[in-house]
Chain A
Amino acid sequence: MASQLYIGSRTVDITPQLPVAVTGQFHLRIAEIAETPLIATVMVLETRGAEGDLAIMVSCDALYIPTDLVALVRQAVKKQLPDIDENKIFLNATHTHTAPVLALDGEYLIPKTGVTQVKDYRKFFVEKISAAIVGAYHDRSPGSVAWGMSYAVAGYNRRIVYADGTSGMSSKTNLPEFRSLEGSEDHDVNTLFFWNDQNKLISIVVGVASPSQEVEGRYAVNADYWHPVREGIKEKYGKDVNVLGWAAAAGDITPHIRYRKEADDRMRNLRNLSRTEELARRIILAVDESYDAVATERHSELVFKHQVEELPLPERWVTEKNYLEAKAFVTNAKEQIAEDPKAADALYRMMNWQERTVKRYEKQLDNPKPMYPMDLHVIRLGDIAICTNEFELFSDFGIRMMARSKALQTFVIQLTGSSDWGSYLPTQRAVNGGAYSAIIHSNIVGPVGGQVLVDRTVEVIDQLWDKEVK
């Protein structure tokens, strides 16, 4: 049943106090400078009445958002807005690799002094974002929405297949044994435009199947390509426009170019653009095309449903071989760190990464069918669907969802909460090919669980499209 849409939106600065440890690489990096601000953008959608519903969506410049931190944000909001269902809140990470560590412990051995502590940044993060949510919630007023789709080449498959059947992640292509890229890509740019009742454009959602990690190696705070995307959009559409960046299924995708890089660099230089600016240029052109096409097709009364559930996903099985290899690595790493504490800068995260595998194996001995409880959100907004997952989800799974969805457009959002500091969800062919993102330490859930995720997501979308919404 169609109802009037109410909307509210806010943008909040979540740039940390410097220096700060940034996450995304195995080695410890302390950022001394902030090259761009980090922000979080809140979008509140609501319909009212007996069948009214609510969605509070927050896009964050972060590598990942630990599930316990999501819970803290919900609790903080609930304290201030006791009448809302706090489970209707979800947060997504754009996957910038130049944002602060958010996992409470286990990721790096961060100096105890002279650097912003993780617990302090987490507190700041929760306060800022919960305040922005409350503000956006109070701002909500009748509004309208339009959806559009265009294309931009902003993400490339990063898994390289060689003649012997193995795969490499972000490895070389200029070799005689290079055969292909392992998976597909999704160049759709899905957009949502929101206007208030004064017909003022207040928010734009941009969904791109590419993580924002072009400057991933820097010792700096940087929102990566989303910063120039937002700045470019604001320049065109108004400085007050709130921009939400959603990363679609892109576990095997990167903004880095895997071949013909020299040609791309040359074109950027001719245009006098940095790589993040070039990515922004492409995305903004797609946004512009959609806006020009759909701006007059606004919907203020529409079907709006938001289903939240805990979806149990079968975890990827840890073999004894996996266990023994991981255990040997951990033992060796501990010895190295004991011998030279400075070795922890390079080894600590990798050691803990493998120690998780050891613990999973030991847990399996008691529970041979471990399940990962994933927070699944599926939204119907008029003709479009929005669905979330907590992983770096390989592109094929997102494409399966989109192919089978009843929605006109399906916005897949990855990294809406992560166990520890995140986990890839690979396809079977990636597991067969091996390489970093498809090995056991990188995957809590494997291809079997991925298909369960696809099937259930499609099932919920189907239900939201049925006349009788269950």
Chain B
Amino acid sequence: MIFLKHQFFTLLFLSVISFQGYTQSENEDNLKVGWSTADITPDMPVLVAGQFHARLSEGVMDPVTATILALESGEGTNSEKTIWISCDLVGISDGMRATANLRDEIRNRVIKAIPSILPEQIIVNATHTHAAPYVASTASVEDIYGVSLEQMADGKPAMSPSDYIPFAADKIAEGVISAWGKRKPGGMSLGLGHAVVGLNRLQALKHGKSRMYGNTNSPEFSHIEGYEDHSLNLMYFWDINKQLTGIIINIASPSQVSEHSYELSADFWHDTKVALRKSLGDSVYVLAQASSAGDQSPHVMVGSKAEERMQKLLGFAEEGTGRGSNAHRKYIAKQIVDEVTDLFPVMKANIDWQPEFKHEMKLVPLSRRLLSEEDVAEATKEAKTWQAEYDKLKAEVRDNPAMIETPRWYKDITISYSKLRRGLVVSERYELEKVQPKMPIEVHVVRIGDAVFATNPFELYLDYGMQMKAQSPAIQTFIVQLTGSGSYLPTKRSIEGGAYGAVPASTLMGPKGGDELVEETLSIINTMW
């Protein structure tokens, strides 16, 4: 009898909880959540993006995907909507740097299928894996890398970027349609954890200049140039039965452990997703975002031997350890998953079923980087040097056609061509700044409960994101970089240091544009509080 009474009250209690949850979720202000993924792995070789040299993919290490999260609050045409799309790509072409525009290709397909969704409600971000298909340009591969795709592929089938972009856009749009169709009442919970994944990769030397990477085991090494941010901003999503449906994981690190791979890969996000699903269920979606991390990488700058040993002792040695290894990816995944799973019960107990939800997109004009004649002269001189090198290497191939039998024979030629092009863009940017001193960029600000998401299309140096986080009225501020085609946005300190990401050829904007981005983003955020 006692047991039955206890059972009755338990059932009654659960019914109330369930009823309350369902009632709340039926309210038109409730959040509706839909998820899907799209496999955007091509079925033939493609160019792999992320290095000066061309890489024609030589297989698939793991799938490259897009994860889609559809959010809606309210009903009808006036409902607030956000479509988040996170892609395992190095960047999202958006017309800013070249004619290619994967972002708009996706948007056009989605709004055609679902007219109630507006283009500016769709946000596409890249995780910055350096082992994914090239989407930055629709030009011919010869124009991009100085060697034709046919030559690189030696006559075998290969997919050009101009063919891959619509292929990926089709798949992603299908994913969006699926996620939108599957949206159901749900709730969210907001979490903050920590994981030491992104490390500042700029090494300041004693003579005052900086370099990207290099050997810190040197008397010339002074310090790590900038800061790091090891916060793990998390947003868990739940169905009305309090079952986890997916998680946004935002981390200040690009996913580029396997950055030299010729096999396609989502990098550490693949391992993270596999490990998370093992812990939290196969059906859980993971939407990865990179916070401002232009000066960060997952590569260990100091103490790499100790970390490599730990990777081995933790049982990850099977596919190698150390820099660029799968063991490093798995160790990163472990750190992220440990935090996400540790927080799981706390998050489950603190679900917000009716979070405030607002989304605003603004075209923000930012000052282009003001370049000097000396910058142009230096870059032009470098371009000439690389032109000569390119011509020499090209002639060698012409004179010795058998060279192309050698695997990856095109590496040096494509490096020289990329550096030649890189030198030439400086004078183009110098001239452009005179007539168009400002360049408009998309900034999305999305408030969900006490959290806010703020996007930018850059490889944004960490300090800018930190400034936004420090001044934001939100309890947690998720900065999402690379919601466009990229280009580094360095700090004044980094420009003085002069390392790779801060030189004229690497940048469209400078510190002035960075300061404007911070100010404008915060002004939009502040309107939501």
Contact = CB atoms under 8 A, between A and B. Distances in A.
A239 B313 CA distance: 27
A137 to B, nearest CB: 30
B217 A404 contact: yes
B309 interface: yes
B470 A260 contact: yes
Interface string B286-329: 00000000000000011101110110011000000000000000
A418 interface: no
B477 to A, nearest CB: 7
Given A260-B476, A263-B476, A267-B191, A408 B470 contact: no
A180 B227 contact: yes
A297 B200 CA distance: 31
B306 A403 contact: no
A285 B519 CA distance: 38
Contact of B338 (A157, A271, A285): A285
Given A181-B227, A184-B227, A262-B475, A402 B303 contact: yes
Contact of A180 (B219, B466, B475): B466
A270 B463 contact: no
Contacts of B195: 151
Interface in B211-237: 216-219, 221-224, 226-228, 230-231
B226 to A, nearest CB: 7
Contact of A455 (B217, B219, B301, B470): B219
Interface string B469-512: 11100011100000000000001010000000000000000000
A52 interface: no
B306 A151 contact: no
Contact of A153 (B194, B223, B310, B471): B194
Nearest to A400: B221
Contacts of B113: none
A148 B311 CA distance: 11
B519 A176 contact: yes
A156 B223 CA distance: 16
Contact of B469 (A148, A152, A260, A290): A260
A75 interface: no
Interface string B342-353: 110010011000
Interface in A383-435: 396, 399-400, 402-404, 408-409, 427, 429
Contacts of B305: 408
A404 B221 CA distance: 9
A61 interface: no
Contact of B196 (A153, A157, A176, A270): A153
Contacts, number: 123
Contact of B350 (A174, A175, A270, A297): A270
B516 to A, nearest CB: 12
A259 B467 CA distance: 9
A399 B310 contact: no
Interface size class of B (residues with CB under 8 A): 35 or more
Nearest to B467: A178
Contacts of B338: 285
Contacts of B221: 400, 403-404
A153 B252 CA distance: 14
A183 interface: yes
Contacts of A260: 192, 231, 469-470, 476-477
A400 B463 contact: no
A190 B335 CA distance: 16
B346 A184 contact: no
A149 interface: yes
B223 A427 contact: yes
Contacts of A184: 200, 223-224, 227-228
A293 interface: yes
Nearest to A296: B313
A185 B228 contact: yes
A145 to B, nearest CB: 15
A150 interface: yes
Contacts of A404: 216-219, 221
B496 to A, nearest CB: 11
Contacts of A148: 310, 313
Interface string A123-153: 0000000000000000000000000111111
A179 B463 CA distance: 7
Contact of A174 (B192, B349, B470): B470
A403 B230 contact: no
Contacts of B218: 403-404
Contacts of B307: 149
Interface in A286-330: 289-290, 292-294, 297
A68 interface: no
B222 A293 contact: no
B491 A180 contact: yes
A285 B339 CA distance: 10
Contact of B470 (A259, A285, A399): A259
A79 B196 CA distance: 47
B196 A151 contact: yes
Contact of A149 (B230, B306, B335): B306
Contacts of A151: 195-196, 335
Q: Which residue, of B217, B303, B349, has the highest number of chain A Cβ atoms within 10 A?
A: B303
Contacts of B192: 260, 263-264, 266-267
Contacts of B223: 183-184, 396, 399-400, 427, 429
A267 B196 CA distance: 18
Nearest to B228: A185
Contacts of B303: 149, 188, 402-403, 409
Contacts of A263: 192, 231, 475-476
Contacts of A409: 303, 306
Q: Which residue, of B228, B301, B302, has the highest number of chain A Cβ atoms within 10 A?
A: B302
Nearest to A292: B314
A181 B217 contact: no
A188 B191 CA distance: 23
Nearest to A271: B346
Nearest to B206: A451
A173 interface: yes
Interface string B171-208: 00000000000000000000111111000100000000
A294 B306 CA distance: 12
A455 B219 CA distance: 8
A282 interface: yes
Contacts of A157: 227
Contacts of A175: 470-471
Nearest to B304: A403
A455 B193 CA distance: 37
A276 B300 CA distance: 28
Contacts of B194: 152-153, 282
Given A153-B196, A408-B305, A180 B463 contact: yes
Nearest to A294: B313
Q: Which residue, of B193, B194, B223, B343, has the highest number of chain A Cβ atoms within 10 A?
A: B223
B308 to A, nearest CB: 9
Contacts of B313: 148, 293-294, 297
B302 A402 contact: yes
Contacts of A294: 313
A164 to B, nearest CB: 12
26 contacts: A148-B313, A149-B307, A151-B195, A175-B471, A180-B226, A180-B227, A180-B463, A180-B466, A181-B466, A183-B223, A184-B224, A184-B227, A259-B466, A259-B469, A260-B470, A260-B476, A260-B477, A270-B349, A282-B194, A292-B314, A293-B313, A293-B314, A399-B216, A400-B222, A402-B302, A404-B216
Would you list the 10 A-B pairs with minimal beta carbon distance, nearest first? A403-B216, A151-B196, A259-B470, A173-B470, A293-B313, A153-B194, A396-B223, A184-B224, A180-B463, A181-B227
Given A180-B467, A399-B223, A427-B223, 16 more contacts: A148-B310, A150-B310, A157-B227, A183-B223, A187-B196, A259-B469, A263-B475, A267-B191, A267-B192, A267-B193, A396-B222, A399-B224, A399-B302, A403-B216, A408-B305, A409-B303
